[in-house]
Every structure is written in structure tokens, then in C-alpha cells.
């Protein structure tokens, strides 16, 4: 099965990049399933029903959400009414679910889970990501699944690579998101799990992770700065990875698929 996992889609430029690339990629790469992180989908801050409907119309099947999903007032509605997960390592009273099993039209089943990292993520509610994954994988019925995809939404490369090695041979793929900067370390780990530290982002290429860079310069130089605005000038970039699965515990291949528009 061919699964495309798209990095954080950022605002209107990000949605535009998905619109201009995904329909063609779906055919070219013979994609069975497309997953995208949508924590920055609506003007960089969370997602809205309208922006989710829009990217699903371009061919995204399933959505994941990192630490910024809570920035939109629509989070509760979205997490209850769309094919989307938030981080697994939250207490039970937080809206939404931390993992889901996608039932595909040809009966294949794919489990997707997201965890939030610890270092540099300003979220005091999230619990230990590895322990949350332990609890999930202990209960998983491997026989009934065709693939397991784990997204590690975190800042620290060390946490991500360590999680990849920890889950090697237990899941199909461990992919990183959140930094918005793609890494070049995609590989199949020794026991068969596909891995990349960070997929990257989708949006305006020459921006501070989606924000106009002069605003972030002011933030870095002064203790006061204007509100973040989305950068909408210049080329767009789409970062994603293609995972060719080989059951719920290993992958055949992982490759970076990036487009500059």
C-alpha cells in the first residue's frame, strides 16, 4: 500500500500548494491513502471546517493535529466531526481521540497515532509520549491491521530518532512533524520500520515557518513585536513522504516527495 504523509499545511499558501500538486501525485504515485497534519491549516492557527473541507476536496483522506490545533475556536467541532486525531498523550478528558483505525474501501485497515514531544513544546498537559505509545501498542491487534503509522510531533531531533529506534519492528513507520523543516535522514531502520525525523511543511517557502520573516526578526530583536501574519509572497513548497508498507510492523520503502511551485 502506498501512503503519502504530508507535513504541516500552513494557511492559504499551503492549501494552494496541496491543490496544485496532490491530484497529480495521487495518480503518479498510485496513492492508496493520504494523511496531512493540519495544525496550521487556517491562517497558521489550527483548522476550521471550511479549510478542512477544502483540502479534503483535493484528495487528503485523513488528518492529524499537533500542538497548534487548539488555537482555532473550532477545535472541538473539528475533532468530533472529521477524520482527525489529536495527540495520544493527553488525559482522557481532552476532546478528540489520540489514534484511529482507518477502514479503507478495500477492507484494509490502517492505524494512525500522533504523539506530542516534550522538549520545546509549550504544553504542560501532554503526558509521556513513549508510555502512551506503550499502552496503545500493548492493546493493538496486529493481525487485523495492514499498517501502523506513528507521527511524532516534536521539536527535538533526539526525541524523534530515539522513538523511531524504540518502535523499530513494532510499527510500519515513525514520521516526525512540527519543526516545518524537512530532514534528509529518511531510511528503513534495522528491524524494518520506515523513519524520518521531520517531513517538513507545506506553504510559502521563504517564510519563518509560515510567518513573514520581518515579524520574527522584530520578535528576535525586541521584547515587543506585531502579531504573526502569514507570508504569501514567493514560491510555494510541499514536503511529504511516500511510505510503501509491508504490514503493520515494517515498510518496504520511504522516500521524500517535495515540490517547489
Which residue is listed with cell 482507518?
102
Residue from 21, 67, 193, 204 binding Fe ion (CB under 5 A): 67
To the query of whether residue 68 is one of the catalytic residues in this protein, the response is yes
Stretch that binds Fe ion, among 7-15, 133-141, 226-234, 243-251 (CB under 5 A): 7-15
State the minimum distance, in angstroms, from the CB of residue 18 to Fe ion.
15
Task: Look up residue 79 and give its three cell numbers.
Answer: 475533532
Q: For residues 9-48, which are near Fe ion according to CB under 5 A?
A: 39-40
Classified as helix, coil or strand, 2 is strand
State the minimum distance, in angstroms, from the CB of residue 68 to Fe ion.
5
Q: 101 pairs with which residues across the strands?
A: 111
Q: Which is nearer to Fe ion, 66 or 200 (CB)?
A: 66
Candidates 189, 167, 196, 206; CA nearest to 257 is: 196
The reply on whether position 66 binds Fe ion by CB under 5 A is yes
The sheet that has 109-116: what strands, in order across it?
99-103, 109-116, 147-153, 173-177, 194-196, 187-188
Q: Is the dihedral of CA 54, 231, 72, 130 positive or negative?
A: positive
Name the active-site residue from 68, 153, 178, 180.
68
The reply on whether position 8 binds Fe ion by CB under 5 A is yes
Q: Which is nearer to Fe ion, 67 or 245 (CB)?
A: 67
Task: Please report, as ranges, the residues that interact with Fe ion according to CB under 5 A.
Answer: 8, 39-40, 66-68, 178
Residues designated catalytic: 68
Amino acid at each position: 500500500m502506498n501512503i503519502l504523509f504530508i507535513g504541516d499545511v500552513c494557511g492559504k499558501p499551503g492549501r494552494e500548494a496541496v491543490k496544485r500538486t496532490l491530484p497529480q501525485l495521487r495518480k503518479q504515485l498510485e496513492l492508496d491513502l493520504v494523511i496531512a497534519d493540519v495544525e496550521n491549516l487556517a491562517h497558521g492557527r489550527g483548522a476550521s471546517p471550511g479549510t478542512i473541507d477544502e483540502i479534503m476536496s483535493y484528495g487528503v483522506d485523513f488528518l492529524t493535529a499537533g500542538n497548534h490545533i487548539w488555537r482555532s475556536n473550532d477545535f472541538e467541532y473539528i475533532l468530533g466531526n472529521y477524520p482527525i486525531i489529536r495527540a495520544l498523550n493527553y488525559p482522557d478528558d481532552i476532546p478528540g481521540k489520540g489514534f484511529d483505525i482507518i477502514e479503507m474501501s478495500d477492507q484494509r485497515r490502517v492505524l494512525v497515532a500522533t504523539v506530542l514531544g516534550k522538549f520545546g513544546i509549550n504544553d504542560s498537559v501532554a503526558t509521556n509520549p513513549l508510555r502512551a505509545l506503550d499502552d496503545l501498542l500493548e492493546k493493538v491487534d496486529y493481525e487485523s491491521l495492514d499498517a501502523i503509522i506513528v507521527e511524532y510531533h516534536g521539536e527535538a531531533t533526539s526525541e524523534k530518532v530515539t522513538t523511531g529506534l524504540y518502535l523499530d519492528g513494532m510499527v510500519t513507520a515513525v514520521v516526525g512533524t512540527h519543526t516545518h523543516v524537512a530532514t534528509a535522514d529518511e531510511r528503513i531502520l534495522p528491524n524494518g520500520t520506515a523513519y524520518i525525523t521531520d517531513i517538513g511543511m507545506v506553504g510559502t517557502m521563504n517564510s519563518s515557518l509560515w510567518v513573514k520573516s520581518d515579524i520574527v526578526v522584530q520578535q528576535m530583536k525586541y521584547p515587543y513585536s506585531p502579531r504573526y501574519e502569514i507570508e504569501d509572497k514567493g514560491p510555494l513548497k510541499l514536503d511529504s513522504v511516500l511510505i510503501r508498507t509491508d504490514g503493520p510492523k515494517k515498510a518496504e520503502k520511504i522516500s521524500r516527495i517535495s515540490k517547489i511551485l
